[in-house]
Structure 1
């Protein structure tokens, strides 16, 4: 039965935090899902993906899990490092330092709008697109769920959800320090210290991260690297209070400050996304800003249920300055639009978020388990967009009113609330029915500060989910589920029509299996999704340099996920995974010629293979090595499918010597130096006469040292 296993979960959770998951995250195409559950030759890994502690083998969802040991072993320090380890999920850098595009089973993230992933850190939703790309340090666990998760994670979880748990304060003094050096004079360091203020009553944890980087991508015209990081530092503090046996108070504060290169898209005059060009603009782009986060969580055990209240506050500022025509006086004398001369662009973004969640969770050790809750969110967002005539190649020209030919200023306010619930019932020892339901409502208002005028709209949706799961035998689970997701609509820049809410209905059938006698885990799923008002993004430079979100009326997406992990012998593991995403535009009234095409930013399939080795070499030391190979299939950049990126093959390597308290490693990413674009915008969807591509990082390599005390 499920509920007796649940009684063991607190002990299992402590065990899982201590035992290393040595090999997950090694093969980028997706084996991490299975490696995380087999590194200790046991399926008894505890997750909180469904807002309660459960054994991973009991959860009827395709989940990829990374615990703290695995994060360190895989060298994960950024969102990209772990997202690209998940099948049917891709992550691409773009435009500004915080900007990124994640695509989950064909559903894409878009600029200045909500993510298709519900992102939660320590129970607090990350409600801005700018919060997905982040530095990862002192992390306890990362859980990536695929498929609509709106019932528990709310609006925007149309493609899935990511649950990130930072390390808790400890009752014993402990600490760690890591330093990493790489080509381009890149330097990163991070560390933490933790211990008791009052033993068993008040515990603290402090963690910090710092990065600087001279870059590796050169601007041919300026002769300077454009991907520099002047500084990027994070500070995080956490205080855990236990004033009574049944009450815990968890307080967390974090601050991030950054200044780095941005807007270094290359002009691709041939229009072929496979022709790699280096940036050649005459303005050196720059992004700068900061993020402040404050959270408080109170948990009280009431007997019949546990009451949890989580309050979160976030303040985000991000400003960028850079080239608007992405060219220079030599290769494009006409400048912006071919006749306005050299031009620059700038945006100043400010976002304040305040959220409150309250929920009741029944005990785990019952055949009938339930969760009830409510959520409220306030979002205040201000955005100023400017275009300026470039006379001297400096960014400060944006502050001269006489040089401005675009000056848009808007505020967007959002008040959202929801109620949700989930129930799990063990019909028999092996058969469980799970049902969940959530109602979300978003009320949005936009004010045109420059010209005056207001727009208001309300978006709402009811999101059900039903799952049937059956244990064929111990460690072998079959399930089928139906779920719906909802991504809110909203407003484009003043004067441009709004975009509608996106809804996704997904049917999925899958299995999780672990064959103890041969150390093999085999997991997989097939899925079908129908999307109404699929959201996608493009730029219309001719219409006031507008970044436009629009809708495709109807889209169908289907595919498979399959992953295998086998412990061949002590310290030797082999991995492999395959994911496919087949999307088709079924109806598109705005562009009827695109019917039958694939959706933007879709990668047809990903595959990987990998090997991980751990060998004792004496004196308490181990040699550790890992190599992973990732294949990404053809990528379709826009709805016309005219611009297709050829398949990519990427290789990462890592090797070192470690003991219980220290380690020294050599590492390399993209060691074959594949040159490609992580974002590509064809001229038909930029409103200009050029195609632009955002260049990916070339080969990176370096050394790393780690110390624990």
Structure 2
């Protein structure tokens, strides 16, 4: 009965949208003529206009990125309906939640992230500075047929600006109330007849925004350096050789939690006695070869990534030593350290048929190899500070080791894929894709015997123990598109997404069982999601009004959820055997007069746990789900003089009620965020004042099982100036 009601609601939504779109153009005819340019997206692996692409996509071109001040993933996600980003604990842990498909600590990502045609293989890479970016596309819904095992919720495609034929560059500098300062810049141009380059970089240094009242300093200082270089060589007609190299070094702090029962409780200040550290270093390099001719295009992308992250800080319950829970019971306090090192290579070989034919197809192969080491441990807090622990337990008398777990993983995954697009006639089109992924994972226990959990009634872990598991799945996707008239696109289809399973650290299954926690084992299962979707895209003939909407229903097996086991201080993943997710998005863009752009978006998500080991949780919402997102924005550009323009922009976002754990023990009230920008610009320079979280909404960015809450950043404001040549 519920499914029929949902289907009827979706039909009413889409039908009403179509009628509205057909009626509104009459009123829009008197408005000023829109710019002729359209956004070309490549999220479906074929270049097409945003409005002609049969998928729910939110796209930001270079002009939108600049006007909105998009500098980090949270900035563009905050402008996208039915997508949220939860930032917590440390820089590498930022969870994308898209249409109810969630992410957790140490898990595979919920979306495939593709940067300049190269898929990120480590979720800890995602949350970093965005600079010198040409376009961002957020594609919603399972895209496994196109992007593989981690595209279960969708895909995010980021494209950097390309090398230029003439020497050009841009420099930006700004200050904020951190007190912080930042600089960003790029330089591009030719080296020879067939060789072009582009280099870009950014530096951000701030004292932070969240006060640690115990240490009388900020808890979130940042020093962040990012560098990128691109060399494009055209040695022969149709042949492109693209070399890329990137480096990132972030130094900040982590683990400044509070412990509360209610996620809405923001009364407690940060009072950790250890400032700790969070240092993350990333290297990446890639070689992209592409050869095009009348036969089509053959491309190969070979990439290598390396990430190292160390984080240290206070431990539960994140209070000064005399006030801490451990000190009250045992006479000593704890701090903690986690070390992560990931090295990965990947290679994709692809053939694409000519794009000007009614029938187009793509076939290819993909391989990725990953080596990962992770250690987690608690040390006795002697008051001398917290010292990082890497691959062996601490022997420092000022930092005695209390608990220590370490594992290494050696993973290899491969896939074969194909997709086709058949344009039957000017009104009808069929897209189909199929991909097979197989992921083989080997986990070696590196925890010294003395630190292995020993739970009566469960097998004792063994140092050097090798665990092996393979996860595999077919991922099909079929979409039917119908254009009854030029300015309306209707589409609908079915897709299946897959996210690999993996290993919790050795022995946690026994610890979880002995503490009565259901759904957590040494191995967590792969997740599979099947989605039915229907959508409409409409636009007036003068492009002054655009209205797009989509409705979806997803059945997910083995959805991830997070559990912190205090008994051995480990972060673990469990599975929800079966859940149902339903919802819709609606987005509108209007330009009533030249220079004025108005946008609005609404996303709604309803989830329901259908099966779980503890029957009390059946019927609950999935963790990290927000009931809805509401976006609205106004961007206005008007000339002041013949050469100078005034630029004004305001964006509003409301995040609906949000649940955090399978128990639904607490839910966060709706959050309202307003960002604003005001500046003047010419073709060569600009000066802009900005504010993020203008009205200083105070809220907790995350609630984690056990009562851990992580504060969201309060108001940030400043001014920046740019010059380009």
* TM-score for both structures, normalised by structure 2: 0.89
Shift of 1:131: 1.2
Work out the CA distance in 1 between the residues paired with 2:256 and 2:540. Answer: 49
1:283 maps to 274
1:395 maps to 386
Q: Is 1:620 aligned to residue 648 of structure 2?
A: no
Q: Which of 663, 667, 678 is the aligned partner of 2:701?
A: 678
Deviation per CA, 1:56-95, whole angstroms, max 9, x where unpaired?
2221001111112211111111111111211100012110
2:285 maps to 294
Deviation per CA, 1:568-607, whole angstroms, max 9, x where unpaired?
1111222211100100001112x22110000001000111
Q: Is 1:258 aligned to residue 250 of structure 2?
A: yes
State which drifts further: 171-180 or 279-288.
Answer: 279-288
1:686 maps to none
Shift of 1:534: 0.8
Deviation per CA, 1:624-651, whole angstroms, max 9, x where unpaired?
1011211111000111112110111111
Q: Which of 356, 362, 375 is the aligned partner of 1:365?
A: 356
Work out the CA distance in 1 between the residues paired with 2:309 and 2:320. Answer: 29
Work out the CA distance in 1 between the residues paired with 2:306 and 2:263. Answer: 40
Deviation per CA, 1:122-174, whole angstroms, max 9, x where unpaired?
11110111011111001111111000000110001110001111111111000
Shift of 1:42: 4.5
Counterparts of 1:81-92 in structure 2 under 5 Å?
81-92=75-86
Contact 1:266-1:692 within 8 A present in 2 as well: yes
Work out the CA distance in 2 between the residues paired with 1:274 and 1:60. Answer: 43
1:467 maps to 479
Q: Which of 115, 132, 136 is the aligned partner of 1:138?
A: 132
Q: Which of 555, 560, 572 is the aligned partner of 1:530?
A: 555
2:434 maps to 437
SS in 2 for 1:130: helix
Q: Is 1:267 aligned to residue 259 of structure 2?
A: yes
Q: Is 1:218 aligned to residue 211 of structure 2?
A: yes
Contact 1:677-1:695 within 8 A present in 2 as well: yes
Work out the CA distance in 2 between the residues paired with 1:574 and 1:271. Answer: 37
2:616 maps to 593
Relative to structure 1, the CA distance from residue 212 to residue 68 in structure 2 (aligned partners, 3 Å threshold; closer, same or farther) is: same
Q: Is 1:352 aligned to residue 343 of structure 2?
A: yes
Work out the CA distance in 2 between the residues paired with 1:538 and 1:663. Answer: 48
Work out the CA distance in 2 between the residues paired with 1:668 and 1:607. Answer: 19
* TM-score for both structures, normalised by structure 1: 0.91
Contact 1:179-1:705 within 8 A present in 2 as well: yes
Unaligned segments of structure 2, at least 5 residues: 1-31, 448-462, 509-521
Deviation per CA, 1:247-303, whole angstroms, max 9, x where unpaired?
0000000011111111111232x5453344221111112101310000010001142
Contact 1:226-1:285 within 8 A present in 2 as well: no
Shift of 1:184: 1.4
Deviation per CA, 1:369-426, whole angstroms, max 9, x where unpaired?
0000100000000011121000024122854355101111110111000000100111
State which drifts further: 95-104 or 242-251.
Answer: 95-104
Q: Is 1:489 aligned to residue 501 of structure 2?
A: yes
1:32 maps to none
SS in 2 for 1:671: coil
Runs of 4 or more off by more than 3 Å in structure 1?
Answer: 38-44, 270-276, 336-340, 397-402
Contact 2:33-2:594 within 8 A present in 1 as well: no
1:582 maps to 606
State which drifts further: 291-300 or 103-112.
Answer: 103-112
Shift of 1:537: 1.3
1:23 maps to none
1:15 maps to none
Relative to structure 1, the CA distance from residue 43 to residue 146 in structure 2 (aligned partners, 3 Å threshold; closer, same or farther) is: farther
Work out the CA distance in 2 between the residues paired with 1:91 and 1:190. Answer: 24
1:703 maps to 719
Work out the CA distance in 2 between the residues paired with 1:422 and 1:525. Answer: 23
Work out the CA distance in 2 between the residues paired with 1:282 and 1:411. Answer: 31
Counterparts of 1:143-292 in structure 2 under 5 Å?
143-199=137-193, 201-229=194-222, 231-268=223-260, 270-292=261-283
Work out the CA distance in 2 between the residues paired with 1:308 and 1:518. Answer: 35
Contact 2:311-2:388 within 8 A present in 1 as well: no
Q: Is 1:636 aligned to residue 636 of structure 2?
A: no
SS in 1 for 2:502: coil
Contact 1:325-1:336 within 8 A present in 2 as well: no
Work out the CA distance in 1 between the residues paired with 2:331 and 2:620. Answer: 35
Deviation per CA, 1:95-143, whole angstroms, max 9, x where unpaired?
0122211111111111112101001111111011101111100111111
Work out the CA distance in 1 between the residues paired with 2:186 and 2:388. Answer: 42
SS in 2 for 1:581: strand
Question: How many correspondences in the alignment?
Answer: 660
Work out the CA distance in 2 between the residues paired with 1:421 and 1:317. Answer: 34
Relative to structure 1, the CA distance from residue 246 to residue 621 in structure 2 (aligned partners, 3 Å threshold; closer, same or farther) is: same
SS in 1 for 2:71: coil
State which drifts further: 452-461 or 674-683.
Answer: 674-683
SS in 2 for 1:273: coil
Shift of 1:329: 4.1
Contact 2:321-2:332 within 8 A present in 1 as well: no
Q: Which of 654, 663, 673 is the aligned partner of 2:686?
A: 663
Deviation per CA, 1:543-582, whole angstroms, max 9, x where unpaired?
x111110100101000010011111111122221110010
Shift of 1:337: 9.0
State which drifts further: 359-368 or 51-60.
Answer: 51-60
Work out the CA distance in 1 between the residues paired with 2:493 and 2:541. Answer: 27
State which drifts further: 470-479 or 237-246.
Answer: 470-479
Relative to structure 1, the CA distance from residue 508 to residue 455 in structure 2 (aligned partners, 3 Å threshold; closer, same or farther) is: same
1:478 maps to 490
Contact 1:554-1:585 within 8 A present in 2 as well: yes
